């Protein structure tokens, strides 16, 4: 029985074309990009070419892009670097945004936590004039709900900064940093066919972002340390490919989302869709969040693993937790529905036959779990 991987919001396989572009940087052009000799200069050129390419694809200037080890570091760098005394956010944010804000809150900062509506969209209201920072993700990691970042940016008082976690949007829907109106924006390569271990932070020119690591001059001092040249090149290559195929990929993902939902409604009733409706415009369609009343999500997840279907109960950073999803809780999902929720997330490269096979296995596992 072949496995079916439906956890692409957790991570994606490295594209072979991306590996081919990375390989020479690991075996041949391996110099330290800070070195003055020819090996270093060649590595530096590859790094800056990657920075220029990635920034252009995201509607930013090259000097606004800082390569990081991933989204967790990038989000922490943005939030602790902006150091708000008063912030606004929602529990639907990813843990690597929520937890730094909780840490600031524990240190005396004021954080206003806004709920979300039943679609998973933040219930926005204009913040107080003294708010320093608003954190709004672009696409939710559990439901795919796209947040109105551009509209929110337009309402902010002068001087209020906007941080946008775009990890589940970049490479899946169009992202233009300057057009969004964000002050800072983050992305992670392994969410769109790039390598693990590299992400980026975009910081609008003129922003006072305090570093929180020290010991080098690299990347303007924002993120000191030797840059991972091969990983940066891989990230830029994956972003280039994903952007090139954006429209076709989005259509394929939307078709997979609709196909699996139709099959689950037919074969697993009762089921509940958590998040945007099928066919909704305001969704990153890689994700489908479904509850199976009468099942426990942890037992169903184990059954699906034995049936060789990979999925999750939420973000990979918190999937080991047995606590109910804070995203669904913020949406007002009732406990009996919340505790049976699973997230399925797709690749545009998957076939309809794979989706149908996954649906059949899910239906068998749901029946077994419900029957005890």
> Mind telling me the catalytic residues?
317
Parallel, antiparallel, or unpaired for β 161-165 and 133-135? parallel
Rounded CA-CA distance 173/137 in Å is: 13
CA 183 to chain centre: 18
Rounded CA-CA distance 279/21 in Å is: 36
> CA 339, 260, 10, 93 torsion: positive or negative?
negative
What is the chain's alpha carbon radius of gyration, rounded to the nearest angstrom? Answer: 21
43 and 31 Cβ atoms separated by less than 8 Å: yes
- The tokens for 3 are 């496995």
CA 235 to chain centre: 14
Parallel, antiparallel, or unpaired for β 184-188 and 287-291? unpaired
Rounded CA-CA distance 209/183 in Å is: 10
Rounded CA-CA distance 41/94 in Å is: 38
């Amino acid at each position: 029985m072949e496995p079916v991987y439906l956890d692409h919001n957790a991570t994606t396989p490295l594209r072979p074309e991306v590996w081919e572009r990375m390989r020479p940087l690991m075996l041949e052009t391996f110099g330290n990009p800070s070195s003055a000799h020819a090996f270093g200069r060649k590595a530096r050129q590859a790094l800056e070419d990657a920075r220029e390419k990635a920034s252009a694809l995201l509607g930013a200037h090259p000097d606004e892009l800082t390569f990081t080890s991933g989204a967790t570091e990038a989000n922490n760098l943005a939030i602790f670097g902006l150091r708000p005394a008063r912030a606004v956010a929602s529990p639907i944010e990813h843990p690597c945004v929520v937890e730094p804000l909780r840490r600031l809150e524990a240190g005396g900062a004021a954080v206003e936590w806004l709920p979300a509506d039943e679609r998973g969209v933040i219930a926005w209201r204009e913040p107080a004039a003294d708010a320093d920072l608003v954190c709004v993700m672009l696409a939710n990691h559990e439901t795919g709900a796209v947040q109105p970042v551009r509209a929110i940016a337009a309402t902010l008082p002068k001087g209020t900064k906007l941080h946008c976690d775009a990890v589940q949007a970049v490479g899946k829907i169009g992202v233009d940093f300057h057009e969004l109106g964000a002050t800072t924006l983050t992305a992670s390569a392994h969410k769109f066919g790039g390598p693990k271990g590299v992400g980026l932070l975009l910081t609008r020119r003129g922003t006072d972002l305090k570093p929180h690591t020290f010991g080098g001059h690299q990347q303007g001092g924002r993120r000191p340390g030797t840059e991972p040249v091969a990983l940066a090149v891989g990230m830029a290559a994956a972003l280039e490919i994903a952007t090139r195929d954006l429209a076709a990929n989005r259509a394929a993902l939307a078709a997979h989302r609709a196909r699996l939902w139709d099959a689950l409604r037919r074969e697993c009733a009762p089921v509940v869709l958590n998040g945007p409706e099928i066919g909704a415009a305001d969704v990153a369609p890689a994700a489908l969040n479904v509850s199976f009343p009468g099942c426990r999500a942890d037992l169903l997840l184990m059954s699906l693993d034995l049936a060789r279907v990979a999925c999750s109960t939420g973000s990979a950073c918190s999937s080991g937790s047995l606590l109910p999803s804070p995203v669904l809780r913020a949406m007002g999902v009732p406990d009996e529905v919340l505790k049976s929720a699973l997230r399925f997330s797709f690749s545009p490269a998957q076939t309809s036959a794979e989706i149908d096979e996954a649906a059949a296995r899910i239906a068998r596992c749901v029946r077994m779990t419900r029957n005890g």
